[in-house]
Structure 1
């Protein structure tokens, strides 16, 4: 469905998916380029076919802390043009604005909107660790702004990289979503590339324009589709190195496979988030012509636990303080297996009146799962929250965490549950066995076996001593997956790539 355009903020409904299908298109979604749609025009002048940063005064691109880039637009015949900054804007309701707290005002740098004035490029791009040194600038390319582990990792990497001399901008293709607000809260500049299908000349040109405007030293694509688009920008910026991080084990297929193999040869590093993802990369990338490295996902380890955190989380979720709570945090999509958990709970907990199931997260299966639960006698004990910001703060509400994934890369939610000290039930698939040991930090069962899953969850729910033992062991094991270590490793990789490109 095509997202409604707003007068000033670009929105995107790119038809290609994060899983790496950048060649798809549909007439409904490519209508943004029709004569009846507004045409996006860059708000800075061109240099050799690529827009540039303004010289002197305020920056003209997506630079600054906590800003979202906005382009001037020329309207199609019969549509009212938007006045320049400082003029009188047409009346708009709050629902028309992507974020209610984004404000525009006279005197701000053209092409920039945010929470404060952007005085200069040097001030906004300050290196907090080395104030006199120029930071390394990284442009992250990802699919969209819906909530997911990949998107939250990009937010944290951008936010905490600043302390290590890494400045970031996020270039987002795809649908809008709550991650946009997380980026703003983290003061990460963000650019929406609206209405452009991936791997088209227009999309590649636009990505290159934004990379040039930010002055990026490295372009970092996340998962196959965004990574291929990032590599394609090298046709316009051949000296800017590209790297890609792969967050799942989905491999390029069909016509996409030879394109990915070729792109790998023009990529500084292919990064896997775990051993299983690395094995997947090594199956299709050219062995002698690509550089595959592993940087394991990391999560914050200093998290709130204990009775006060438990009480606050249950209050926010509307759960009884004395109930037993089984929970899941993640996308409600087929590969994550939320249907297996709902079925297991409905089948095995009909007689456990004090046990509740909480499903935190949005996804394409949400409506059908809600309907399934509502039609059962357990309707009052199965809860769906939809998308929530900072949802990991609700994990202390759980007694048992369940990760029912059919396939995985390296789940952030799984690691966050370990950091809180939760015992886990999951499937014994390779990516889970990289992290958990059956009977030591979790109970692992055969994949797709609803009865085995339900039985393991019921065993943990009824055995407080087992929960405590597994949870404490999981918390100790979580120390291997530090957010700080992950960001340090990426920062080193960025600086190395930038230095080699400048040599």
Structure 2
């Protein structure tokens, strides 16, 4: 069976990471695969050395992508624009396609989108919240929930200790996300850090990742010695291994696969109750959930875990088992 994956994203974020993980997993099972990706895109570069995978880089053009899908037994659509190419390939050559949705916001309610999603052989949502947003497009659209996987991140204990040693003996709180406040909510991290700066000066907040809002966020955090911007890092596992707490204040989120990674590292989590996050975090059991921009509740939850090492350990153990 020849499966063709199509992901035309220019950047490399959670959806592209999940695409790469799936392709790698299927390659280990010996499946014949092709990846159709965007010329110059990071996903294409990262996947070129996967054994047995044929990589096709296309221009940012739906027709070019559709041509590359011909001859497939099945097309797997991994992001919103790629469904147009899959539908066109289906019209031209009866190629069946399945669609995986990873974003909380549903497709625009247009006739074209209804047709393309109805035509899909299978519709997959990584959370029930995403599936419900898909049904706002058309209540007749059924879907299957298949959550994202963990990234199986590697951690070097020596590197984790080195990272840890840079920030003293205080509690280390981190968030891993693209620096895009309208999505990942990093201004909330900075506001909480401002509140904690005097009563808990030893606590550090690490914003791990890069992105278009970096300059704005650094300006907002000016004068706060307890906020650290790491920039983009490849060794995310080392940073997760160095943390005491994971904070994820997203403003909207399909699932938040980085939470699965944080759980795998046994980290207690404070997150916002949006999208698919409550499907991962059970409030009070393996973390705490708060409303977006409820700085008071977020501060209280973080403060509780900062001061209660036994509770941190208890929640961390639940996350490892989960």
Provide the TM-score with structure 2 as the length reference: 0.90
- Name the CA distance, whole Å, in 1 between partners of 2:54 and 2:178: 25
Which residue is equivalent to 1:252? 107
Is 1:182 aligned to 2:27, yes or no? Answer: no
Aligned pairs for 1:290-369 within 5 A:
290-300=141-151, 309=157, 311-316=158-163, 319-320=166-167, 322-333=169-180, 334-369=182-217
1:339 to partner: Cα distance: 1.7
Which residue is equivalent to 1:489? none
- Name the CA distance, whole Å, in 2 between partners of 1:406 and 1:281: 19
SS in 1 for 2:48: helix
Which has the higher mean CA deviation after the structures are superposed, 314-323 or 335-344? 314-323
1:402 to partner: Cα distance: 0.6
1:248 to partner: Cα distance: 1.3
Q: 1:164 aligns with which of 29, 42, 59?
A: 29
Which residue is equivalent to 2:254? 409
Question: Do the aligned residues in 1 keep the contact of 2:130 with 2:275 (CA within 8 Å)?
Answer: no
Change (3 A) 1:314 1:273: same
- Name the CA distance, whole Å, in 1 between partners of 2:290 and 2:142: 35
Is 1:432 aligned to 2:296, yes or no? Answer: no
1:442 to partner: Cα distance: 0.4
- Name the CA distance, whole Å, in 1 between partners of 2:241 and 2:10: 26
State the Cα deviation string for residues 68-119 of structure 1 (Å, max 9, x = none).
Answer: xxxxxxxxxxxxxxxxxxxxxxxxxxxxxxxxxxxxxxxxxxxxxxxxxxxx
- Name the CA distance, whole Å, in 2 between partners of 1:157 and 1:391: 19
- Name the CA distance, whole Å, in 2 between partners of 1:439 and 1:352: 23
Which has the higher mean CA deviation after the structures are superposed, 390-399 or 165-174? 165-174
Is 1:226 aligned to 2:77, yes or no? Answer: no
Aligned pairs for 1:38-187 within 5 A:
136-173=1-38, 176-177=41-42, 179-187=43-51
Return the index of the structure with the highest Cα Rg: 1
The number of equivalent residue pairs is 320
Change (3 A) 1:338 1:208: same
1:266 to partner: Cα distance: 1.5
Q: Which runs of 5+ in 2 are unaligned?
A: none
Q: 2:242 aligns with which of 386, 397, 406?
A: 397
Question: Do the aligned residues in 2 keep the contact of 1:441 with 1:471 (CA within 8 Å)?
Answer: yes
- Name the CA distance, whole Å, in 1 between partners of 2:49 and 2:307: 40
Question: Do the aligned residues in 1 keep the contact of 2:164 with 2:243 (CA within 8 Å)?
Answer: no
- Name the CA distance, whole Å, in 2 between partners of 1:406 and 1:184: 34
Question: Do the aligned residues in 1 keep the contact of 2:246 with 2:268 (CA within 8 Å)?
Answer: yes
State the Cα deviation string for residues 344-403 of structure 1 (Å, max 9, x = none).
Answer: 122223342322111112222222112222x2232xx32223333352442111100011
- Name the CA distance, whole Å, in 2 between partners of 1:451 and 1:321: 26
Change (3 A) 1:169 1:349: farther
Provide runs of 4+ in structure 1 moved above 4 Å.
none
Q: Which runs of 5+ in 1 are unaligned?
A: 1-135, 197-202, 478-503
- Name the CA distance, whole Å, in 1 between partners of 2:243 and 2:49: 27
Question: Do the aligned residues in 2 keep the contact of 1:155 with 1:186 (CA within 8 Å)?
Answer: no
1:300 to partner: Cα distance: 4.9
Is 1:205 aligned to 2:59, yes or no? Answer: no
Question: Do the aligned residues in 2 keep the contact of 1:144 with 1:175 (CA within 8 Å)?
Answer: no
Change (3 A) 1:286 1:351: closer
Change (3 A) 1:171 1:159: same
Question: Do the aligned residues in 1 keep the contact of 2:124 with 2:143 (CA within 8 Å)?
Answer: yes
1:267 to partner: Cα distance: 0.8
Question: Do the aligned residues in 1 keep the contact of 2:62 with 2:82 (CA within 8 Å)?
Answer: no
1:180 to partner: Cα distance: 4.2
State the Cα deviation string for residues 147-195 of structure 1 (Å, max 9, x = none).
Answer: 3111100001001111223233222237634x4443235454433323x
Question: Do the aligned residues in 2 keep the contact of 1:277 with 1:409 (CA within 8 Å)?
Answer: yes
